[in-house]
Amino acid sequence: MKKYTYSAKESDNKDKWWIVDAQGAVVGRLATQIAARIRGKHNPLFTPHADTGDSIIVINAEKIVFTGRKLDQKCYYRHSTYMGGLKTVTAKELLAKRPEDIIRIAVKGMLPKNKLGDRLIKKLKVYVGDKHPHAAQQPEVLELKK
């Protein structure tokens, strides 16, 4: 009888949908738990090279919390690839304009930097307010540690 380690395939994954309320949650702590759930680390079938995770819906993104003085001091950068094309925006400005991007950027930084990571970030849906268009997926409420 051969003994071997089971390697899960992506077809073995039963993709569940979870809904997370970001109200009062600290950005980094929320992002680590969401990234682990999207990656599939909670799943006994976890395989590093396959997508064995779940889909996450985050609501109330505008009510996220930063600790310390990060709201004023933390900067988000992007570059246009042209000379002098560095764009900088503080966390306070980004929270006022596009609060869903704060969570998306934090989670994306915790996922693999390859094709798998590009597919996994598409499983994250972030919305301002408490309404979302994913009722057909029948998401279950996920209580995360605050």
For residue 109 the two structure tokens come to 């930084």
> In 26-132, which ranges are continuous DSSP H helix?
27-39, 70-73, 91-97, 99-108, 115-120
- How high is the mean pLDDT of the chain? 95
In a domain, 89, yes or no: no
Q: Considering only residues 59 and 144, tell me which one the structure prediction assigns the higher pLDDT.
A: 59
Report the pLDDT value the prediction gives residue 1, as an integer from 0 to 100: 65
pTM of the entire predicted model = 0.92
Cβ(144)–Cβ(20) under 8 Å? yes
Cβ atoms < 10 Å from Cβ of 105: 14
Q: Is the pLDDT of residue 7 over 80?
A: yes
- Per-residue pLDDT band for 144 (boundaries 50, 70, 90) equals confident
Domain that holds residue 48: 16-66+99-141
Report the pLDDT value the prediction gives residue 3, as an integer from 0 to 100: 80
The number of folded domains in the chain is: 1
Report the pLDDT value the prediction gives residue 95, as an integer from 0 to 100: 97
Q: Is the pLDDT of residue 113 over 80?
A: yes
Cβ burial of 116 (10 Å; 0-12, 13-18, 19+) is middle
In a domain, 44, yes or no: yes
Q: How far apart are CA 131 and CA 133, in angstroms?
A: 7
Q: Is the pLDDT of residue 30 over 90?
A: yes
Average pLDDT over residues 4-30: 92
Q: Is the pLDDT of residue 70 over 70?
A: yes
In a domain, 55, yes or no: yes
In a domain, 49, yes or no: yes
In a domain, 94, yes or no: no
In a domain, 125, yes or no: yes
CATH number of the domain encompassing residue 45:
3.90.1180.10
Cβ burial of 91 (10 Å; 0-12, 13-18, 19+) is buried
Cβ(117)–Cβ(88) under 8 Å? no
In a domain, 32, yes or no: yes
